């Protein structure tokens, strides 16, 4: 009976049988031109011949022999082996120390060419030890290893038992045969007790010597490390999704920043704790990446949780507190992790299209009570989510629902990919024996993500904007009269019969008309794709024309730039001037930073602060709220989105100033209309696709009242046809609501 192929590099698939590494597992090495000869030289311990293979030496120095991972330093290679290939490490470190003493003890090392003064860990000898131990087929287990392990490579002596080898290495060669892992080798408690043989020692150094010298006869290198369970307080916080409440609990944030929640080890620096989590708790670190990513997206509303504050800045900073929360979630038995809460009013607004139905009411209760398992276990909700769109309430076939979500509601489909890994795992756990999926996971993820987006107000609904394109405008104007021509000839009196009209529609169109129609359709398609691309990296700034706003100063900066450019065009100037778009965006960011800083320095009795509070620019706590346009009231309304503190806004402004110093960050920055006496003038701001930090920053500040300091509002570019594209669509008779039906056609009298 044959089985399915197993990945040789997967730690879960490693076999306990010897040899652990077969030719199938060594594909990365044997596929190289020198691989077979290098493996033979290592197994035969022909180190002089191995030294004569420069390609093999260079590869073994920096690349993992199992998976090919690049490691710049020996420390990185050791860390990679401990975290990615832990099942292959028993007896390897002891063998590597023997090979280093025998073959690589002189400086510089004859294999890796590194110079050293005292000791040296050669990566080539490390990987050679890995191959020697794990390709030996004479072993049975860790306590009964093969001939390659029982042989001392320093003096070539052979032993019958592993304990004899350990005593020999310590007494004769002064080598430590085993490495120590506190979580694996010591029981959690006050007294130092060996977790393998349960022997008690006077102090921790004695226990360390007991392990490293190989004196423990019950030593198990594959014993899982002992970890404390997740505390009830953290469990309640994670299950309820109230992560934002940690902003009001500095003591809890300090515990998450400087203390490991799995082994209760305290640290003085955040970086030491991060390294500890990555090395000692590497499995949890690796498995919790999706949870940490979800926490990072949610943290844009409540900010960094580090206490004390770290020197790291920028939106790419990952708090150690969020890292530990994600790892604790991975350790808990929870079907779904959503680090936000669902308010009743937000749920009703989001589900207004389906709330009148019984399934919609049940869905509302599931979200309010956070009973997420019901979404894919209740038959009524399963059938409802398979066939109904929660955004517009349409009934669709399951095969059409996903395509409908991506086309009609593309703006809310971006965040659903973050929840997909969790949903696939949770649904697969409940439907392990199904041969096909009856659950619309895409609809569930979109519903959960959209509710969270609505709850946090991270993204507002898109508003229709148009872009000016002079070349396309001229083309459409020239083609306009041609599109207005009739497609077929009609009698002069206009009283043709129904049969004549029917036959007239069937008449063949001229080649010129067909060509123009094809060109028009192509232009509409190109325009739609262009607007879709602009939606990814373009923003619209609606600027006021008052003297206190930013627009007059931008005009003045542009005039100064033109005068400076004329001067710098002389041959005596060595450097080229900064592009106008970059100069204007830098002025925008610097002005924003100046005005936010000035507002932060005001006292509560200052007139400027009073005006900011009266106009709704700041909350009573002195934070910048988020606002959204209310179509019914025809005014801006403050949302329930978590406001941004002034100090956090100063950091955002400083980061924007730093990002915009790069001339490549801004692609376009210009007005969409001629400057006139109108109260509002829209400007297009297109940023570089590679400037991820600026894109995330503008998304975070979208809808914030901080832009009112500059007399502008910021909205993302819409995803539909431009003004010229709409005009062309109308000329072609394809516009919605632009043509009259047959019943409305008047006959000439």
SS (H, E, C) 572-631: CCCCCCCCHHHHHHHHHHHHHHHHHHHHHCCCCCCHHHHHHHHCCCCCCCCEECEEEEEC
Q: What are 28-46's pLDDT values in tens digits?
A: 888 899 999 999 999 999 9
Q: Tokens in use for 325?
A: 């929360």
pLDDT > 70: percent of the chain: 78
Q: What are 200-212's pLDDT values in tens digits?
A: 888 878 887 787 7
With cut-offs at 50, 70 and 90, classify the pLDDT of residue 457: very low
Residue 472 has pLDDT above 50, yes or no: no
Please state which of the ranges 133-142, 439-448, 476-485, 577-586 shows the lowest mean pLDDT: 476-485
Q: What is the pLDDT of residue 433?
A: 54
Q: What is the pLDDT of residue 453?
A: 36
Position with higher pLDDT, 684 vs 198? 684
Q: How far apart are CA 633 and CA 437, in angstroms?
A: 45
Q: What is the pLDDT of residue 477?
A: 43
Exposed, middle or buried: residue 512 (CB in 10 Å: 0-12, 13-18, 19+)? Answer: exposed
Are 538 and 686 contacting, i.e. CB atoms less than 8 angstroms apart?
yes
Mean pLDDT, residues 629-654 taken together: 85
Q: What are 663-701's pLDDT values in tens digits?
A: 888 988 988 877 765 678 888 888 887 788 888 888 888
Residues whose CB falls within 8 Å of the CB of residue 738, separated by 6 or more in sequence, listed in order: 730
SS (H, E, C) 4-21: CCCCCCCHHHCCCCCCCC
Q: What is the pLDDT of residue 360?
A: 86
Q: What is the pLDDT of residue 448?
A: 53
Q: What is the pLDDT of residue 593?
A: 92
Q: How far apart are CA 121 and CA 112, in angstroms?
A: 10
Q: What is the pLDDT of residue 743?
A: 39
Residue spans of the domains in the chain: they are 11-171, 232-331, 344-429+437-456, 533-563+579-725
Mean pLDDT, residues 268-281 taken together: 85
Q: How far apart are CA 610 and CA 605, in angstroms?
A: 7
Q: How far apart are CA 92 and CA 256, in angstroms?
A: 35
Q: What is the pLDDT of residue 27?
A: 87
In DSSP terms, 193 is beta-bridged to: 200
DSSP state of 298: H
DSSP 3-state of 334: coil
Q: Tokens in use for 280?
A: 């000692």
Residue 65 has pLDDT above 50, yes or no: yes
With cut-offs at 50, 70 and 90, classify the pLDDT of residue 63: very high
Are 263 and 280 contacting, i.e. CB atoms less than 8 angstroms apart?
yes
Q: What is the pLDDT of residue 41?
A: 92
Q: Is the pTM of this model over 0.75?
A: no
pLDDT > 90: percent of the chain: 9
Residue 509 CA neighbour count, 13 Å, CB half: 13
Are 602 and 609 contacting, i.e. CB atoms less than 8 angstroms apart?
yes
DSSP letter string over 454-492? HHHT-SPPP-------HHHHHHHHHHHHHHTS-SS---S
Position with higher pLDDT, 568 vs 651? 651
Q: What is the pLDDT of residue 413?
A: 64
CA-closest candidate to residue 418, choices 455, 373, 375, 449? 449
Residue 180 has pLDDT above 80, yes or no: no
Q: What is the pLDDT of residue 590?
A: 93
Q: Tokens in use for 36?
A: 């077979």
Q: How far apart are CA 552 and CA 309, in angstroms?
A: 39
Q: How far apart are CA 42 and CA 58, in angstroms?
A: 15
Are 364 and 347 contacting, i.e. CB atoms less than 8 angstroms apart?
yes
Centre a 10 Å sphere on the Cβ of residue 491 and count the other Cβ atoms it contains.
Answer: 11
Q: What is the pLDDT of residue 565?
A: 78
Q: Tokens in use for 41?
A: 């030289």
DSSP 3-state of 50: helix
Q: What is the pLDDT of residue 247?
A: 84
Q: What is the pLDDT of residue 8?
A: 41
Residue 105 has pLDDT above 80, yes or no: yes
Q: What is the pLDDT of residue 476?
A: 40
DSSP letter string over 510-574? PHHHHHHHHHHHHHHHHHHHHHHHHHHHEEEEEEE-STTSHHHHHHHHHHHHHHHHHHHTSTT--
Residue 346 has pLDDT above 90, yes or no: no
With cut-offs at 50, 70 and 90, classify the pLDDT of residue 279: confident
Residue 20 has pLDDT above 70, yes or no: yes
Q: What is the pLDDT of residue 274?
A: 87
CA-closest candidate to residue 726, choices 404, 412, 403, 469? 469
Q: At what angle do helices 398-408 and 441-456 cross, to 10 degrees?
A: 30
Q: What is the pLDDT of residue 586?
A: 92
Q: What are 543-593's pLDDT values in tens digits?
A: 888 888 888 899 888 988 888 877 645 544 455 678 888 999 999 999 999
Q: What is the pLDDT of residue 415?
A: 59
Residue 216 has pLDDT above 90, yes or no: no
Q: What is the pLDDT of residue 749?
A: 36
Please state which of the ranges 13-22, 280-289, 626-635, 706-715 shows the lowest mean pLDDT: 13-22
Centre a 10 Å sphere on the Cβ of residue 174 and count the other Cβ atoms it contains.
Answer: 8
SS (H, E, C) 336-392: CCCCCCCCHHHHHHHCCCCCCCHHHHHHHHHHHCCCCCHHHHCHHHHHHHHHECCCC
Residue 366 has pLDDT above 50, yes or no: yes
Exposed, middle or buried: residue 732 (CB in 10 Å: 0-12, 13-18, 19+)? Answer: middle
Q: What are 396-431's pLDDT values in tens digits?
A: 888 888 788 877 777 666 656 677 777 877 777 766
Q: What are 490-526's pLDDT values in tens digits?
A: 444 445 444 444 444 444 556 777 788 888 888 877 8
**Most confident range, picked from 12-21, 121-130, 132-141:** 121-130
Q: What is the pLDDT of residue 592?
A: 92
The mean of the pLDDT values for the chain is: 77
Mean pLDDT, residues 91-120 taken together: 86
Q: What is the pLDDT of residue 37?
A: 93
Cα–chain center distance at 194: 41
With cut-offs at 50, 70 and 90, classify the pLDDT of residue 140: confident
Q: How far apart are CA 504 and CA 195, in angstroms?
A: 94
Which DSSP helix (H) or strand (E) runs through 123?
helix 123-134
Q: What is the pLDDT of residue 344?
A: 82
């Amino acid at each position: 009976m044959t089985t399915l192929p197993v990945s040789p590099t997967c730690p879960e698939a490693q076999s306990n049988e010897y040899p652990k590494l077969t030719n199938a597992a060594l594909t990365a090495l044997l596929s190289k031109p020198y691989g077979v000869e290098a493996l033979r030289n290592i197994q035969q311990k022909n180190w002089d011949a191995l030294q004569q293979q420069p390609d093999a030496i260079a590869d073994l120095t920096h690349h993992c022999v199992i998976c090919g991972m690049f490691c710049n330093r020996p420390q990185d290679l050791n860390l990679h082996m401990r975290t990615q290939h832990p099942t292959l490490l028993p007896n390897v470190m002891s063998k590597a120390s023997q090979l280093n003493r025998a073959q690589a003890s002189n400086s510089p090392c004859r294999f890796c060419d590194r110079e050293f003064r005292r000791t040296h860990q050669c990566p080539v000898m490390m990987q050679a030890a890995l191959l020697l131990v794990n390709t030996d087929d004479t072993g049975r287990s860790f306590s009964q290893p093969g001939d390659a392990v029982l042989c001392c490579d320093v003096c070539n002596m052979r032993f019958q038992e592993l304990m004899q080898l350990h005593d020999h290495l310590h007494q004769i060669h002064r080598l430590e045969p085993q490495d120590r892992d506190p979580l694996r080798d010591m029981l959690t408690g006050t007294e130092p007790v060996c977790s393998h043989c349960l022997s008690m020692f006077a102090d921790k150094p004695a226990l360390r010597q007991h392990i490293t010298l190989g004196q423990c006869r019950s030593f198990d290198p594959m014993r899982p490390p002992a970890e404390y369970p997740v505390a009830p307080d953290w469990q309640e916080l994670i299950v309820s999704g109230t992560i934002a409440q940690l902003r009001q609990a500095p003591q809890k944030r300090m515990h998450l920043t400087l203390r490991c929640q799995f082994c209760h080890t305290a640290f003085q620096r955040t970086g030491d704790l991060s390294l500890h989590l990555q090395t000692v708790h590497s499995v949890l670190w690796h498995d919790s990446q999706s949870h940490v990513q979800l926490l990072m997206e949610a943290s844009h509303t409540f900010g960094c949780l580090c206490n004390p504050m770290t020197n790291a800045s920028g939106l790419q900073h990952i708090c150690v507190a969020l890292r530990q929360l994600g790892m604790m979630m991975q350790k808990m038995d929870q079907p779904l992790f959503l680090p936000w809460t669902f308010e009743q009013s937000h749920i009703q607004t989001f589900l207004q299209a389906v709330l009148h139905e019984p399934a919609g009411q049940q869905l509302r209760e599931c979200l309010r009570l956070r009973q997420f398992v019901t979404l894919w276990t209740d038959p009524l909700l399963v059938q409802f989510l398979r066939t109904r769109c929660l955004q517009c309430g349409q009934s669709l076939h399951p095969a059409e629902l996903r395509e409908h979500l991506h086309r009609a509601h593309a703006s809310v489909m971006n965040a659903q990919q973050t929840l997909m890994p969790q949903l696939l795992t949770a649904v697969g756990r409940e439907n392990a024996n199904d041969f096909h999926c009856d659950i619309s996971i895409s609809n569930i993820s979109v519903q959960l993500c959209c509710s969270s987006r609505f709850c946090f107000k991270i993204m507002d609904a898109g508003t229709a904007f148009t872009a000016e394109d002079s070349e396309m405008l001229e083309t459409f104007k020239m083609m306009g009269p041609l599109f207005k021509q009739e497609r077929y000839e009609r009698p002069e009196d206009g009283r043709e019969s129904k049969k004549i009209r029917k036959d007239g529609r069937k008449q063949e169109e001229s080649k010129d008309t067909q060509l123009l129609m094809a060109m028009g359709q192509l232009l509409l398609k190109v325009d739609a794709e262009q607007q879709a691309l602009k939606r990814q990296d373009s923003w619209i700034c609606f600027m006021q024309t008052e003297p206190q706003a930013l627009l007059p100063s931008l005009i003045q900066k542009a005039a100064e730039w033109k005068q400076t450019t004329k001067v710098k065009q002389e041959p005596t100037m060595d450097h080229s001037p900064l592009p106008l778009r970059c100069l204007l965006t830098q002025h925008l960011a610097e002005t924003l930073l100046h005005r936010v800083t000035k507002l932060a320095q005001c006292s509560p009795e200052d007139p400027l602060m009073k005006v900011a509070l009266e106009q709704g620019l700041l909350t009573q706590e002195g934070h910048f709220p988020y606002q959204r346009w209310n179509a019914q009231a025809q005014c801006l309304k403050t949302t329930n989105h978590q406001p941004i503190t002034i100090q956090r806004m100063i950091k955002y402004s400083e980061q924007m100033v730093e990002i915009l110093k790069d001339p490549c960050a801004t692609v376009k920055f210009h007005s969409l209309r001629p400057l006139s006496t109108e109260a509002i003038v829209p400007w297009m701001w297109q940023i570089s696709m590679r400037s991820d930090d600026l894109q995330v920053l503008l998304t975070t500040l979208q809808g914030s009242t901080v832009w009112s300091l500059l007399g502008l509002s910021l909205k993302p570019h819409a995803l539909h046809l431009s003004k010229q594209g709409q005009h062309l669509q109308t000329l072609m008779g394809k516009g919605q609501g632009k043509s009259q039906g047959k019943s409305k056609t008047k006959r000439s009298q």
